[in-house]
Amino acid sequence: MTTAMVSLMIVLLLLGFPMLIPLIGATMLGFFVFFAGIKPDIMVQQMIEGVKPAALIAVPMFIFAADIITKGHSADRLLDLVMRFVGHVKGGLAVTTAATCTLFGAVSGSTQATVVAIGGPLRPKMLKAGYKDDFVIALTINASDIAFLIPPSIGMIIYGVISGTSIAELFIAGIGPGLLILAMFSAYSVAYAVVNKIPTTEKATWGERFDAIKGAIWPLGFPVIIVGGIYGGIFSPTEAASVSVLYALILEVVVFRSLKLREIPEIALSTGLITAVVFILVAAGAAFSWTISFAQIPQAIIGGLGLEESGPTMVLIAISIAFFIGCMFVDPIVVILVLVPIFAPLVKAAGLDPVLVGTIIVLQVAVGSATPPFGCDIFTAIAIFKRPYFDVIRGTPPFIFMLLLASALLIMFPQIALFLRDLAFR
Amino acid sequence: AEWKFAIEEIEGSVQDRYAQEFKRLIEEKSGGDITVTIYPYGSLGTSAALTELVTQGAIQFANSSPGHLGTLVSEVQVFSIPYLLSQNDEVNKKVLSESDVIYETLQSSFHEKNLHLLTMYPEGDMVWTANKEIRSPQDFDNFKMRTMVSPMLVEAYSAFGASPTPMPYGEVYGGLQLKQIDGQVNPVFAIQEMKFYEVQDYMIFAGQQEFTTTVVTNNDWFQNELSADERKMVNETIGELADYIFDVKREFATERLEMIKEAKPDITIIELTEEERAVFREAAQRVRDKYVEMTGESGKMVLEGLQADIKEAEEEMGAS
Amino acid sequence: MSDERPAAATDGGDGTEHEPGQGHGGRPRGWLAPLSAADRVIARVEAIILAYGVLLMAANSVGNVVGRFVFGRSLYFTEEINQFLIVLVTFVGLGYAARKGRHIRMSAVYDQFGDTGRKALMLLIAGGTAAVMFVLAWYSWSYVDGLARRGTVTPSLQIPLYLTYLWVPVGFVITGIQYVLTVVRNLQSPDVFISYEQIDAYDEVEETAL
Ligand code: NA
Ligand code: NA
């Protein structure tokens, strides 16, 4: 059954069918051939359930806010400010992009929202500065995925619940690896800028910088409101997205008068279209993963590996591979829900620290989400940037390599994750 | 044959223990002819989805808690009424596993939806957590209490003097940590599993509600496709599990509370006195009216019948 | 240099805009004309639903924040309304995205073929996708019908759940029709069309318009 489903998916994918079709086609194969007698209505039920989780609402809201500030003045003013400070540094803009994605992702908790909110406005600037599009897109997607590691992280909460691990400890343990990856991406960005001779702009004077700060003072309210609102207990990270829509409207319509109120529905339409394009794949992915769970395919595959007698390192490697592959096809949360209990006995037998295991799992989830063919961030990037599938993934390999290197380092030196945890809790 | 049993909780939970024991007994009694596959939380969808899977016949058994099941069988929301069940465990055990109101009156509402109610069992007291002491409705003033989404619970916590605040379960930990909400209510095992105690200082036992769950099966399958022997085997097994799960519940209540105390020794545990409970009980009377308003004549019958059954059982057992 | 063209989601002024509903092939003639007029009306309705769906999501969520933080009262139905809106936007948008040729696909292999090969593949893709959409429309109708029969309600507003899902079968039917129209257009015209109104080319993606 697994072979038939995977083959069908690959064929439909390569023929160029809309991505919805490989996912639904494989699901239908499961329903019509392998579990005949079960009502196919359930496919539809699962598709609808797939888009209903409350946290998903942040995605269209951040898309909307980013659309508004890009059409208006805020985005330009913020970018102008960034350029005045880092434009003269080799790779400065790329490092800024990576750091901004990490920060925004850390706060919003949504990698897809980060791709939209940061990638949308920054990409044109980077292209103008001379970076190649494949690098820009890959950097945005992968830096956004660091969001999974830095708290608050929904992936860590789910893992904590399923495995009975302290969520507070997991949150702290994610910070080290998150920063390590950011450092790797930054180093690569600088190297990329040097090798490709990306021109720098002239160093701005402090007077010019001060002007830029003055120009960006209102838009600088975004991070203040989002971070302040969340940590001040006024709204949840999910709600922060909607609040930033409100703030964007106030800035562009009232303060800068760059947009007229009647132009807003048009922007909302563009947001709605992108949302639909991404969410229909979330829906199809939910139906597909239900089929996989129902048929108990992960249990069968992992049970067949015979890992019961292997040592801790082998178990960690097996976990990494399983989660990495799972997240290439299916929504990360579902992968955590399904695979964590299957691995639980192995983790226990190998005497592994559940916090370390959680960090490694969440890291793999981050890698998998940015990895073809079905990584959810890739869909988002295609919808936002309107580039063909292959253009979007072309720049990915160096990033995947760095992320895998980070995974290997984490397995070899668990202190990268556990150092801060031990400092805080032991 | 393979029977599929989906639970709403993770592996190692109360529901999992029930399902595992059910699996063991059925597989043993059927001499291996029947295997039971258990699907834990999240693998086949949300609670509401699981119930639908049973009505559609995709799976044979599922746990379904009244909070979710109420969207399909509205009368079952009677179990969301505060201070309805007894403060005596044995009374509740008798009522939940034997009451004619549940297995006849309420059962007919299940049958209308192609569901058959096999059993109900309690999973433990619903406990309040907070960062302040709560002993009276005044203490709940301006207190954002996270509850499940249900008009009954909104009514209940408004009646208690709190400000009921819905929030998705997965966001509760963060909401408590960042003080977006002030407290939440859940059974002890959930507070332990979800680590809410890490970000809360008080656990308050007010005895207002026992967290109950149902085990449902597809009625059509159960009545028409199973042989009489198989049906008998299921009913017998369910009967044997009533005592078993009660002990598991008690074990969880103590063990999980110990785990919390061990992980956070400075957590304050408050047991409200009879007098303090009486104030909340009085305040919650209006929730019964809300229930009748929502469910009409059939709900009224269920409520009155249950109240009578509980009273009778209390008198019989000499509890009050 | 198409690679270098800044094409953020919101770009609108780079000369690729067209009249909505007109497309590259011009207005259809003959027996398709009345159908096409009806289709334009549907397109407009879809656009309005998408735009106001998104606006309502924002208003609804902000309303809950204000209610909770300023007045200490949560709008207990916010989550339910947002779920309704997200289902609405996803499934109505499914058809709208098909119309605009915006569904995500992996075209790497497909792009290697010549015009005839791509045309043949596009006929297969559009025809196959239409078939899958109609199958899903059938089962979603059956699902929604089942919900209506069982009388499932939503948890907080206690309104019939099936009413909030009616868009799902409608969305699948509209999408199926869009892909049938794509087959028709590809049979009529020498060019390769990715949707009834969109010619197959990445750099000429039409902007959305209300
Ligand atoms: Na995060
Ligand atoms: Na993925």
Between CA A177 and CA A183 the distance in angstroms is 10
Asked if B158 is an interface residue toward chain C (Cβ–Cβ < 8 A), one would say no
- Residues 9-68 on B with a CB inside 8 Å of A are 10-12, 37, 39-46, 49, 52-53, 56-58
* Per-residue CA distances from A311 to A298, A300, A354, A362 (Å): 21, 21, 15, 21
Query: Which of B127, B125, B131 minimizes the C-alpha distance to B266?
Result: B131
Model pLDDT for residues C128-140, shown as the tens digit of each residue: 999 999 999 999 9
Asked if B68 is an interface residue toward chain C (Cβ–Cβ < 8 A), one would say yes
Could you tell me where the DSSP H helices lie in chain B? 14-29, 47-55, 66-69, 89-98, 100, 107-112, 151-159, 172-177, 188-193, 219-220, 228-263, 274-283, 285-316
The shortest CB-CB distance from A265 to any of C52, C89, C93 is to C52
Question: Residue A380 CA: which ligand is closest?
Answer: 2
> Subunits with at least 3 CB pairs below 8 A relative to chain A?
B, C
Domain ranges of chain A: 19-28+38-425
What ipTM was assigned to the predicted interfaces of this complex?
Answer: 0.88
Are the C-beta atoms of B216 and B61 separated by less than 8 Å? yes
Cβ distance of B49 and A235 shorter than 8 Å: no
A214, exposed or middle or buried, with CB in 10 Å at 0-12, 13-18, 19+? Answer: exposed
The 8-class DSSP code of residue B30 comes to: T
Q: Mean pLDDT, to the nearest integer, of A268-272?
A: 94
SS3 category, B69: helix
Angle subtended at Cα B43 by Cα B40 and Cα B48, rounded to the nearest 5 degrees: 85
Give the pLDDT confidence score for residue B115 in this predicted structure: 96
Give the pLDDT confidence score for residue C192 in this predicted structure: 87
- The alpha carbon of A140 and the centre of ligand 1 are apart by a number of angstroms equal to 15
Q: Which residues of C fall within a CB distance of 8 Å from A39?
A: 142
Model pLDDT for residues C53-101, shown as the tens digit of each residue: 999 999 999 999 999 888 888 888 899 999 999 999 999 999 999 999 8
Minimum CA–CA partner of A236 in chain B:
B175
Q: Which residues of C fall within a CB distance of 8 Å from A239?
A: 61-62, 64-65
Q: Which residues of C fall within a CB distance of 8 Å from B48?
A: 152
Give the pLDDT confidence score for residue C25 in this predicted structure: 46
Give the pLDDT confidence score for residue B205 in this predicted structure: 97
Q: Mean pLDDT, to the nearest integer, of B129-143?
A: 96
B67 min Cα distance to partner chain C (Å): 9
Asked if A237 is an interface residue toward chain B (Cβ–Cβ < 8 A), one would say yes
Instruction: Report how far Cα C106 is from the mean position of its chain's Cα atoms.
Output: 19
Query: Which of B130, B118, B242, B108 minimizes the C-alpha distance to B186?
Result: B130
Asked if C154 is an interface residue toward chain A (Cβ–Cβ < 8 A), one would say no
SS3 category, C103: coil
Model pLDDT for residues B67-101, shown as the tens digit of each residue: 889 999 999 999 999 999 999 989 999 999 999 99
pLDDT bin (cut points 50, 70, 90) of residue A372 is: confident
**What percent of chain A stands above pLDDT 90?**
27
**What percent of chain A stands above pLDDT 70?**
98
**Whether pLDDT at A411 is above 60:** yes
pLDDT bin (cut points 50, 70, 90) of residue A108 is: low
- Residues 58-87 on C with a CB inside 8 Å of A are 58, 61-62, 64-65, 69, 79, 82-83, 86-87
Model pLDDT for residues A137-174, shown as the tens digit of each residue: 999 989 988 878 887 777 887 788 778 788 778 888 99
pLDDT bin (cut points 50, 70, 90) of residue B227 is: very high
* Per-residue CA distances from C207 to A332, A367, A415 (Å): 32, 32, 50
Give the pLDDT confidence score for residue C38 in this predicted structure: 84
Asked if A25 is an interface residue toward chain C (Cβ–Cβ < 8 A), one would say yes
Residues with CB under 5 A from ligand 1 (ion): A 106, 109, 147, 150, 153
The shortest CB-CB distance from C68 to any of B56, B154, B165 is to B165
Q: Which residues contact B106 (CB under 8 A, 6 or more apart)?
A: B73, B75, B76, B117, B302
**Whether pLDDT at C10 is above 80:** no
Cβ distance of C74 and B166 shorter than 8 Å: yes
Question: Residue A153 CA: which ligand is closest?
Answer: 1
Between CA B185 and CA B190 the distance in angstroms is 9
Cβ distance of C57 and A57 shorter than 8 Å: yes
Question: Residue A111 CA: which ligand is closest?
Answer: 1
Cβ distance of A243 and C132 shorter than 8 Å: no
Count contacts between A and B (CB, < 8 Å).
84
Tokens 């009345």, residue located: C34
Residues with CB under 5 A from ligand 2 (ion): A 327, 369, 375-376
Between CA A267 and CA A64 the distance in angstroms is 7
Asked if A302 is an interface residue toward chain B (Cβ–Cβ < 8 A), one would say no
Q: Mean pLDDT, to the nearest integer, of A201-224?
A: 87
**Whether pLDDT at C4 is above 50:** no
Between CA A323 and CA A357 the distance in angstroms is 11
Between CA A2 and CA A8 the distance in angstroms is 10
Are the C-beta atoms of C167 and C53 separated by less than 8 Å? no
Cβ distance of C9 and A17 shorter than 8 Å: no
A212 min Cα distance to partner chain C (Å): 23
Per mean pLDDT, which range of B81-95, B149-163, C102-116 is the poorest?
C102-116
Tokens 């800024």, residue located: A96
Query: Taking all residues of chain C, what is their mean pLDDT, rounded to a whole number?
Result: 81
The shortest CB-CB distance from C76 to any of B74, B164, B294 is to B164
Per mean pLDDT, which range of A23-32, A166-175, A262-271 is the poorest?
A166-175
Task: Mark out chain C residues that contact chain B at CB-CB < 8 A.
Answer: 68, 72-74, 76, 78-80, 146, 150-156, 158, 161
Asked if B56 is an interface residue toward chain C (Cβ–Cβ < 8 A), one would say yes
- Residues 237-296 on A with a CB inside 8 Å of C are 238-239, 241-243, 245-246, 264-277, 279-281, 283
Minimum CA–CA partner of C150 in chain B:
B113
Q: 3-state SS of chain A?
A: CHHHHHHHHHHHHHHCCECHHHHHHHHHHHHHHHCCCCCCHHHHHHHHHHHCCHHHHHHHHHHHHHHHHHHCCHHHHHHHHHHHHHCCCCCHHHHHHHHHHHHHHHHHCCHHHHHHHHHHHHHHHHHHHCCCHHHHHHHHHHHHHHHHCCCCCHHHHHHHHHHCCCHHHHHHHHHHHHHHHHHHHHHHHHHHHHHCCCCCCCCCCHHHHHHHHHHCCCCCHHHHHHHHHHHCCCCCHHHHHHHHHHHHHHHHHHHCCCCCHHHHHHHHHHHHHHHHHHHHHHHHHHHHHHHHHHCCHHHHHHHCCCCCCCCHHHHHHHHHHHHHHHHHHCCHHHHHHHHHHHHHHHHHHCCCCHHHHHHHHHHHHHHHHCCCCCCHHHHHHHHHHCCCHHHHHCCHHHHHHHHHHHHHHHHHCCHHHHHHHHHHHC
CB half-sphere exposure, A330, CA atoms < 13 A: 24
Asked if C198 is an interface residue toward chain A (Cβ–Cβ < 8 A), one would say no
Residue B17 φ/ψ, nearest 5 degrees: -60, -40
Cβ distance of A290 and B173 shorter than 8 Å: no
Are the C-beta atoms of A370 and A146 separated by less than 8 Å? no
Q: Mean pLDDT, to the nearest integer, of A389-407?
A: 89
pLDDT bin (cut points 50, 70, 90) of residue A376 is: confident
Per mean pLDDT, which range of A36-50, A263-277, A306-320 is the poorest?
A306-320
Mutation test of the interface with chain C: which of B51, B75, B154, B165, choosing the one with the most C Cβ atoms within 10 A? B165
Give the pLDDT confidence score for residue A111 in this predicted structure: 75
A390 vs B267, which has greater pLDDT?
Answer: B267
Q: Mean pLDDT, to the nearest integer, of B19-45?
A: 93
Pairing type for strands B115-130 and B163-166 reads unpaired
- The alpha carbon of A366 and the centre of ligand 2 are apart by a number of angstroms equal to 9
Asked if A152 is an interface residue toward chain B (Cβ–Cβ < 8 A), one would say yes
**Whether pLDDT at C27 is above 60:** no
Q: Mean pLDDT, to the nearest integer, of A401-411?
A: 92
* Per-residue CA distances from A198 to A91, A126, A399, C209 (Å): 8, 10, 19, 37
Cβ distance of B72 and C76 shorter than 8 Å: no
Give the pLDDT confidence score for residue B222 in this predicted structure: 97
Query: Which of B41, B265, C102 minimizes the C-alpha distance to A336?
Result: B41
Q: Which residues of A fall within a CB distance of 8 Å from B195?
A: 160-161, 166-168
Tokens matching residue B101: 């109101």
Cβ distance of A387 and C7 shorter than 8 Å: yes
The 8-class DSSP code of residue B225 comes to: I
- Residues 331-350 on A with a CB inside 8 Å of C are none
Count contacts between B and C (CB, < 8 Å).
50
The 8-class DSSP code of residue C207 comes to: P
B113 min Cα distance to partner chain C (Å): 6
A311 vs B17, which has greater pLDDT?
Answer: B17
